[in-house]
A and B are shown apart, each in its own frame.
Chain A
Amino acid sequence: NAGVTQTPKFQVLKTGQSMTLQCAQDMNHNSMYWYRQDPGMGLRLIYYSASEGTTDKGEVPNGYNVSRLNKREFSLRLESAAPSQTSVYFCASLPGARPGLAGGETQYFGPGTRLLVL
């Protein structure tokens, strides 16, 4: 049981290049999330998918697109990278089948992808 995995771990892009960040979870979770983490800003939600086949914008969606490929995988695409997108990107998943924190239900995070846009 690998939990939440993300690829790549680290990437350098030039301004204007495109790339896709991959995320997969093997916990049969319904909901998946993409966050970015910048110094002094905490975690900010980019997009999320409450269930397979649905996606919604979060706090900072501009410049990004997502695809919920199946229940396991949720990818984040940068069509034309900008230096402002230099950040650490985290994917997370949540069981979501029976809402409630009583059982300690929480979002489980991957190890992150460090992206540098020059």
Chain B
Amino acid sequence: QKEVEQDPGPLSVPEGAIVSLNCTYSNSAFQYFMWYRQYSRKGPELLMYTYSSGNKEDGRFTAQVDKSSKYISLFIRDSQPSDSATYLCAMSRDQGAQKLVFGQGTRLTINP
């Protein structure tokens, strides 16, 4: 069993919809949780990060961590075609981002 599980999709939604992306994990030692966005034929770039449990909001994006359930989510409000990308969750045990464990990535398409 993988340490981090993420539904690869693909997920296709109409413009303006609320999108929910999720990951589950098995290792309770993970403390830092990240979401990366990867456009086609590009490298991943950091979108959101959170420490321990709780929510974090940045514009249209909200990251949520539930450590008791070993479950993290990324919500995108008022989704735009420019949000079409692959979204990867990543987790780390240590204080820095030295050793990241990635989910499989979810491919998201926002239809105009």
A4: which B residues are within 8 A, CB to CB? 43
Query: 0/1 per residue, B41-65, Cβ < 8 Å to A?
Result: 1111110010100000000000000
Please report whether the interface of chain A is mostly helix, strand, loop or mixed according to DSSP: loop
Size bin of chain B's contact surface = 20 to 34
Query: 0/1 per residue, B1-14, Cβ < 8 Å to A?
Result: 00010101000000
A94 within 8 A of B: yes
9-residue interface stretch from A13-21, A64-72, A73-81, A109-117: A109-117
Shortest CB-to-CB span from B33 to chain A, Å, is 10
Residues of A53-91 at the interface with B, using a CB-CB cut-off of 8 Å, are 90
Residue of A nearest to B31 (CB): A101
B32 within 8 A of A: yes
A96: which B residues are within 8 A, CB to CB? 96, 98
Cβ contact within 8 Å between A111 and B46: no
A31 CA to B99 CA, complexed, in Å: 10
B97 within 8 A of A: yes
A2: which B residues are within 8 A, CB to CB? none
B interface residue numbers (CB < 8 A to A): 4, 6, 8, 32, 34, 41-46, 49, 51, 88, 90, 92, 94-100, 102-105
Question: What would 18 A/B residue contacts be, using CB atoms closer than 8 Å?
Answer: A90-B43, A90-B44, A94-B98, A99-B94, A99-B95, A99-B98, A100-B95, A101-B49, A101-B92, A101-B95, A104-B49, A105-B96, A106-B97, A109-B43, A109-B45, A110-B43, A111-B43, A112-B41
